[in-house]
Structure 1
């Protein structure tokens, strides 16, 4: 396990953590404005409970995954990659949805939180629990996405955990700089850059998920001869090590191996593989085109580009 295993978890935890830090900062600012600072302890309790619950979910996954994998030793070569593929698919859906949703809701985030908090404070007896629930859900949601990503890669050990810890520390520092020290920080540009980086990471997860499913089908076909037809690319399997991914697009093992720097960094962050197959390449491009276009439209880049083109065209006519 190299330090490259910490990079994806660091990036995702930093981005998701900053989202949670924004919610916490907005709530604290609203409580101060409403002269309800006595409820700050409920905010901190919600943060601690959310982090603790996320860690508990992570420990639960780390216990369940080996149990399921070892439940039937004969099919262990099938179960492990199959579970990796399933968790990868879940992580792809969750991270993609959260990326687009957060971008679309960013303009209204402060107003929505203030409205929810105002309604909560009107119920004096339950105000503390209402604030706690708001913060707890925000932190748990971001933490759960990180846990799912780690589970998708079966990343256990020191380096992925350190990546998550440093990402969390970075998110806390950004939150403190914004709301405590009043440091001017272009949070919009931060989310744009981190969003593009997260988009590429999730696209790499698509490549990994297909590789896991390919390994699971190949293992199952080897164990059960009656299911050999599932491995429709089996005739070329010896020459071209793919079961359901089609022909190999490239083999860059001699030029840029994915187990040595810088290939290992590209693999950890962007899903680079020294052996890439046709189905993986198509899925990678389709994901970037579809989800990427939705993401960039949510940023308003399409409107800005159209306005720029129209402005350029009109200036040329003049």
Structure 2
């Protein structure tokens, strides 16, 4: 419940903040809000439709294809949440000023169409990210109803906070809020990375690095609070495999370093671009090295060890 609550609160608050800032600006300038609310409603409806369609498509597929689709959804969710965390880290302080400038430009046209489109695209972006991220999180939640309840409660809390800010009764430190929730979501996203490698193996896409690492059943026994924390929140199974641990650490360590690095000591644009290119090159070389160094299991060996080495089938 906690991961989906934070996802719903964080993503919902981003969308609500955008709408609140624009609505406040328009109210102060005596403009009508009808076009804004039309765009918001359309964005919310389309976001819900995307989530429902993805879930229906997944449920209609055979088992192996379901695992493949879950892998793709998990990978897309990780990309979305990573981009969202990094974008908000750099734009939380200037978001209000940037949005008001866009609203002023739209208001200068003398119509509400531009404002409706602006609200629609903003809500659709956040809503689509929320739908994909929540769907990926639901897939490995220990209790689907509890996960859904957490998401609904988080979104409802975001709406209430947004309304209170719009009414002028509440002020929050957005920079601190997005930093704290961003750190938490880094761990959730790392769990999604690990989970994506497991579903990729179950789909037949990843067959290397399936050796056992540690047995965490003592730390997270089924049905315990510790299991809800370790497996449900952090996404770490009781029997992590080698490739899963490597992928989890490869995502978590750099992201934590980036999030905790002082903003005043961040590299300039040119240096950051070189670091991104260098990091991508290192990752590509490491991937090729792993592909060459780790032998692919033969079909006979895989069949002979499937009963003892394959991860347990996840309940649905």
Structure 2 partner of 1:300: 263
Structure 2 partner of 1:143: 127
Structure 2 partner of 1:208: 195
Structure 2 partner of 1:89: 75
Contact preservation (8 Å) 1:258, 1:266: no
Structure 2 partner of 1:31: 26
CA RMSD of aligned residues (A): 2.2
Tell me if 1:185 matches 2:149.
no
Structure 1 partner of 2:16: 21
What CA deviation, in whole Å up to 9, does each residue of 1:148-184 have, x standing for no partner?
1233356496433322221111101111222314323
Contact preservation (8 Å) 1:296, 1:302: no
Contact preservation (8 Å) 1:204, 1:271: yes
Structure 2 partner of 1:309: none
Return closer, same or farther for 1:80/1:154 CA change in 2, 3 Å cut-off.
Answer: farther
In the TM superposition, residue 23 of structure 1 has moved relative to its aligned partner by 0.8
What CA deviation, in whole Å up to 9, does each residue of 1:37-73 have, x standing for no partner?
x2x1222222222211111111211222223x1xxxx
**How far, CA to CA, are the matches of 2:223 and 2:145 in structure 1?**
19
Among 263, 270, 275, the residue aligned to 2:234: 270
In the TM superposition, residue 199 of structure 1 has moved relative to its aligned partner by 0.8
Taking the TM superposition and a 5 Å limit, the aligned residue runs for 1:154-165 are: 155=139, 158-165=145-152
In the TM superposition, residue 210 of structure 1 has moved relative to its aligned partner by 0.8
Contact preservation (8 Å) 2:220, 2:230: no
Among 45, 56, 60, the residue aligned to 1:52: 45
TM-score, length of structure 2 as denominator length: 0.76
Structure 1 partner of 2:6: 11
**How far, CA to CA, are the matches of 1:277 and 1:26 in structure 2?**
46
Structure 2 partner of 1:197: 184
Which secondary structure state, in structure 1, belongs to the residue aligned with residue 214 of structure 2? strand
Which secondary structure state, in structure 1, belongs to the residue aligned with residue 240 of structure 2? strand
Contact preservation (8 Å) 1:214, 1:245: no
Contact preservation (8 Å) 1:85, 1:209: yes
Structure 2 partner of 1:225: none
What CA deviation, in whole Å up to 9, does each residue of 1:67-113 have, x standing for no partner?
3x1xxxxxx33212111111111111111111101221222212211
Taking the TM superposition and a 5 Å limit, the aligned residue runs for 1:89-128 are: 89-124=75-110, 127-128=111-112
Structure 2 partner of 1:285: 249
- Between 25-34 and 145-154, the greater mean CA deviation after superposition: 145-154
TM-score, length of structure 1 as denominator length: 0.76
Paired residues, what number? 263
Which secondary structure state, in structure 1, belongs to the residue aligned with residue 94 of structure 2? helix
Contact preservation (8 Å) 2:219, 2:227: no
**How far, CA to CA, are the matches of 2:103 and 2:137 in structure 1?**
37
- Between 246-255 and 81-90, the greater mean CA deviation after superposition: 246-255
Which secondary structure state, in structure 2, belongs to the residue aligned with residue 262 of structure 1? helix
In the TM superposition, residue 301 of structure 1 has moved relative to its aligned partner by 6.8
Consecutive unaligned residues in structure 1, runs of 5 or more: 1-5, 70-75, 221-229, 232-243, 304-318
**How far, CA to CA, are the matches of 1:84 and 1:16 in structure 2?**
21
- Of structures 1 and 2, the larger Rg is shown by 1
Consecutive unaligned residues in structure 2, runs of 5 or more: 267-316
Return closer, same or farther for 1:248/1:301 CA change in 2, 3 Å cut-off.
Answer: farther
**How far, CA to CA, are the matches of 2:199 and 2:103 in structure 1?**
44
**How far, CA to CA, are the matches of 1:147 and 1:276 in structure 2?**
27
What CA deviation, in whole Å up to 9, does each residue of 1:247-294 have, x standing for no partner?
222102134225432212321221122111222222111111223333
- Between 193-202 and 53-62, the greater mean CA deviation after superposition: 53-62
